Amino acid sequence: MALKNRATFDSTGVFVLNIMASPGAGKTSFILATLDRLPLEVRPGVIEGDLASSIDTDTIAARGVPVTQINTGGGCHLDAPMIQAALPQLPMSELDLLFIENVGNLVCPANFKLGADRAVVVASVPEGDDKPYKYPGIFASADVVILNKSDLLPIFDFDLDYFRSGVELVNPGVPFFVLSCRTGTGVQAWLSWLLNERYARVEEKTLTI
């Protein structure tokens, strides 16, 4: 089913991100900070995954971005059939970039492929610097790792080198960005990486087709 989703994304030329993090790491804020800085010619859409409610969906919809909600009703992750069922609710032919915000969890989401082009793992300073050591699976599955809430580094006892070493231990050489969605520090570096990855993937898709 994930391969079928990928075929749909390829046929429409949409670059897809699977965004995974624990609850409160700032997944929605991260998406919003990215949306606010996208070039005007890049047309985004969002799939929001939550146990319940449409709070984050309403926030994104208020920005005028196409968005649809998946409520898992207690499920700890999104899966490929859920994504396939949600796609008809989005104008896929009018999108260039699709964010899938997975359910807040550092275990299950890493084990279920959705068909996305890149897996993004978002951690945050208040969670502590030991997360890559405690939850190696999700960091090992990442195509890029984001450390959010960097503006809180002076407040929390967070060892950035220790955190980075843990990421490198399970995923050597993975792109790594330290940023703050609240202040905007570091977001542009992440955005430049994203746009380059999207461009390279679109070129690859074009050659394949």
How far is it, in rounded angstroms, from Cα 36 to Cα 74? 31
- At 207, is the pLDDT very low, low, confident or very high (cuts 50, 70, 90)? low
Q: Tell me which residue has tokens 């929390």.
A: 156
Q: What is the pLDDT of residue 121?
A: 98
Q: What is the pLDDT of residue 187?
A: 98
Q: What is the pLDDT of residue 202?
A: 76
pLDDT tens-digit profile of 40-93? Answer: 999 999 999 998 998 999 999 999 999 999 999 988 999 999 999 999 999 999
pLDDT above 90: residue 205: no
Mean predicted lDDT score pLDDT of the chain: 95
Q: Of the candidates 203, 194, 125, 131, which has an alpha carbon nearest to the alpha carbon of residue 167? A: 131
Mean pLDDT of 160-179: 98
Listing from the earlier edge strand, what are the strands of the sheet with 67-71? 67-71, 44-50, 97-101, 15-21, 118-124, 144-148, 176-178
pLDDT tens-digit profile of 135-147? Answer: 999 999 999 999 9
- At 203, is the pLDDT very low, low, confident or very high (cuts 50, 70, 90)? confident
pLDDT above 90: residue 173: yes
Q: What is the pLDDT of residue 204?
A: 78
- State the CATH number of the domain containing residue 44: 3.40.50.300
Domain span at residue 101?
Answer: 2-202
Q: What is the pLDDT of residue 137?
A: 97
Percent of the chain with pLDDT over 90: 92
Residue 207 is assigned to a structural domain of this protein: no
Residue 102 is assigned to a structural domain of this protein: yes
Enter the tokens of residue 93.
């032919």
Q: Tell me which residue has tokens 């030329």.
A: 13
Q: What is the pLDDT of residue 82?
A: 98
Residue 209 is assigned to a structural domain of this protein: no
* Helix (H) or strand (E) run with residue 196 in it: helix 187-208
- Provide the total of helices (H) and of strands (E) in the chain, helices listed first: 8, 7
125 and 158 in contact (C-beta within 8 Å)?
yes
Number of domains in the chain: 1
Taking the model in full, what pTM does it have?
0.95
